[in-house]
Structure 1
């Protein structure tokens, strides 16, 4: 089949990694694949180099931008309609909010026979004002009218979409966001090297976070919990992997609370380097305010690093409280601190939860498994629509 994937930006991020791996896998399985994305990147880094190695044909969309801009959005819509009419894909498969709304509208206008959308995270969420939430909910309902199949990275995404009236449950399939699981495994040499680079000793407990440096990723909540964490676990050190617009603001906040010496800003890392760093962690903290299903948590579990997470969106589907990590009620900063302290003080618990975490996710989150399941959705959709 000829498949066109569309995403807003190819920054370093979970939805983008998922999309590039999907394109790579579909190419390997004999499909003709086109990947279209806006040129815009940012401080989060770029996945264009990985996309170029995927084997897919690439199109850089001139007018696809993350920010809402009616002029650029209209031009991006026209650009996509022209692309689909020219390339005549059997399937258009969209990802992310802006590309999802514009891409599906363009595909319908161009007469594309099959339209699929992956929900990596809802476009409307608790961090938005009421007007923004209502607008995105309305746009998603409109887009849902001409979406033949939805893929959700977590059951929670399906539940939220169905509750919002976007489409009936029968159109949704949950397929876990795949990753190169063979890269992510416990590695003693990598652990020693990473901890040496951070200045962490054998008795230190390294508490890591992997996320872009902006507030929606929960850094404000982590910062609020850190004084209690350090009081309860003086051996705690923190490593933050990622970059973003709030880096200097977080540095200033750490200086004000006297903890700047406790945090290593590891900076932006390409996806292939993340596994090496994860081996150096003892605990992963994920405090995102909204996220479909956090890939960093899965990657940590693959490396047998237990996770502490807010019970938010799809996190509870991988962070099983007392089984693979500790799950904390959303927004409870004191609970976040208590959970981290508990794990920091109990190496045996960390080892047990980490090992169980790897056992539970290693197969379900393999990128090849993801591609096979996506291909089955395509095949079922084609059959249901009369072999179009």
Structure 2
């Protein structure tokens, strides 16, 4: 690939969510990407919308001296969207990456007409992102994005099938990860360790099934151990399922760890377990495979299939219980197979999903948009009433026009799945204060 370095400085504003206890793959991706963009003359500022208080993303960006500003989400959808637009216009960037932040996506069309091309990002195959396609790709012309990035081939195909705007740039760019120069050494003499890293929630992640699979494995296969990294609203359920295994030292619950601490745990494990209902291209899976862990995953429609080829770069199961046990038993009894799959998994990530490869794709997109944008209208003032895209039911509760109020019964259920009860109580106090 051609050298993309240049003396010209380009300024980009990214939008992102943050919250107390945030350990999301999206946040990890941002903290990895932005310092690398600096090497190509791209200066970044992150406009953070916090659901309750700041968390991992804000702290990590400040430690890395990346410019950021945090705003607690209050008010209705129009107020939030207006606030995002005002802050973006204050920075006068060459490009705006709305990412998956709904208030930013709602202002993308207007910002584009003012001379700031906007980029959305599809991170997963779920209703929220399908609604993003409906509203900001094939919706009203005045609401459309300048570019849309999909993290997987599956999402890219979905976007291409719905797009009718020749001026909208569709790109497939995975969330690249850093890969160690050398594969961590693993002794075959120690117990075989199976690792899960992610949110402890049954919604999407099926954490109860993960815990139950770990329980079956360590009880049925001698010389195996389980490690679960993370936290979330269903953590108590996990502890209950694994009560006996925790007492016997067969399973470890680490609680929430920083990305660096999680990577250290990965280097001491052999197998990575992911049993989600849906995914995009999970950052945790990429990082695990890049460190030589053998993935065991479910057969779901997602970008996971781009990484895990059954019998070559990992194992694919159709059963979240005994199917996982059988897969681990196969690996436990075949050291040569483990070494082959581990090496293949690591090679797959290095070849197509490393930070270096993915950063260059982002640089190319940002440069293209910056070079083709119109002159920024410096005298423009936002209208008193914003003509926003129609609300979509899949954007509840982020869009208060759908919910009818900031915190309704439905939104409580949704946020319980994502954040847990304590974080939701803090969110209520923030909004209703």
TM-score by length of 2: 0.74
Structure 2 residue 310 is the aligned partner of structure 1 residue 324: no
Alignment of 1:297-316 (within 5 A): 297-312=285-300, 313-316=302-305
- Which of residues 41, 45, 56 in structure 2 aligns to 1:30? 41
- Which of residues 21, 25, 33 in structure 2 aligns to 1:14? 25
Q: 1:171: which partner in 2?
A: 169
Alignment of 1:128-143 (within 5 A): 138-139=134-135, 141=137, 142=139
Q: Give the alignment's Cα RMSD to 1 decimal.
A: 3.0
Q: 1:119: which partner in 2?
A: 122
- Higher relative contact order structure (alpha carbons within 8 Å, sequence separation ≥ 6): 2
Distance verdict in 2 for CA 1:91–1:135, change over 3 Å? closer
Contact conserved, 2:136 with 2:145, CA < 8 A, in 1? no
Q: 1:186: which partner in 2?
A: 183
Q: 2:58: which partner in 1?
A: 48
Distance verdict in 2 for CA 1:6–1:235, change over 3 Å? same
Q: Secondary structure at the match of 2:210?
A: helix
Cα displacement (A) at 1:54: 3.6
Q: 1:147: which partner in 2?
A: 145
Cα displacement (A) at 1:94: 2.0
Cα displacement (A) at 1:240: 0.4
TM-score by length of 1: 0.82
Cα displacement (A) at 1:57: 1.7
Q: 2:157: which partner in 1?
A: 159
Mapped partners of 2:89, 2:354: distance in 1: 34
Cα displacement (A) at 1:283: 0.9
Cα displacement (A) at 1:225: 3.0
Contact conserved, 2:297 with 2:315, CA < 8 A, in 1? yes
Contact conserved, 1:307 with 1:325, CA < 8 A, in 2? yes
Distance verdict in 2 for CA 1:31–1:358, change over 3 Å? same
- Which of residues 324, 330, 342 in structure 2 aligns to 1:342? 330
Contact conserved, 1:4 with 1:92, CA < 8 A, in 2? yes
Q: 2:402: which partner in 1?
A: none
Distance verdict in 2 for CA 1:225–1:274, change over 3 Å? closer
Structure 2 residue 267 is the aligned partner of structure 1 residue 269: no
Q: 2:107: which partner in 1?
A: 106
Structure 2 residue 238 is the aligned partner of structure 1 residue 250: yes
Contact conserved, 2:230 with 2:255, CA < 8 A, in 1? yes
Contact conserved, 1:154 with 1:293, CA < 8 A, in 2? yes
Q: 2:12: which partner in 1?
A: 3
Mapped partners of 1:370, 1:346: distance in 2: 34
Contact conserved, 2:212 with 2:242, CA < 8 A, in 1? no
Mapped partners of 1:134, 1:357: distance in 2: 30
- Which of residues 178, 181, 196 in structure 2 aligns to 1:209? 196
Cα displacement (A) at 1:384: 5.0
Mapped partners of 2:236, 2:162: distance in 1: 38
Mapped partners of 2:296, 2:172: distance in 1: 24
Q: 1:92: which partner in 2?
A: 96
- Which of residues 347, 365, 384 in structure 2 aligns to 1:359? 347
Mapped partners of 1:387, 1:85: distance in 2: 13
Contact conserved, 1:205 with 1:235, CA < 8 A, in 2? yes
Mapped partners of 2:48, 2:329: distance in 1: 42
Q: Secondary structure at the match of 2:329?
A: helix
Contact conserved, 2:149 with 2:170, CA < 8 A, in 1? yes
- Which of residues 76, 82, 102 in structure 2 aligns to 1:78? 82
What do residues 353-386 of structure 1 show as CA deviations (whole Å, max 9, x unaligned)?
0011112211432223222111101223345557
Distance verdict in 2 for CA 1:366–1:87, change over 3 Å? same
Q: Which moved more, 1:218-227 or 1:364-373?
A: 218-227
Distance verdict in 2 for CA 1:166–1:289, change over 3 Å? farther
Cα displacement (A) at 1:243: 1.5
- Which of residues 256, 267, 271 in structure 2 aligns to 1:279? 267
Cα displacement (A) at 1:205: 1.4
Distance verdict in 2 for CA 1:82–1:170, change over 3 Å? closer
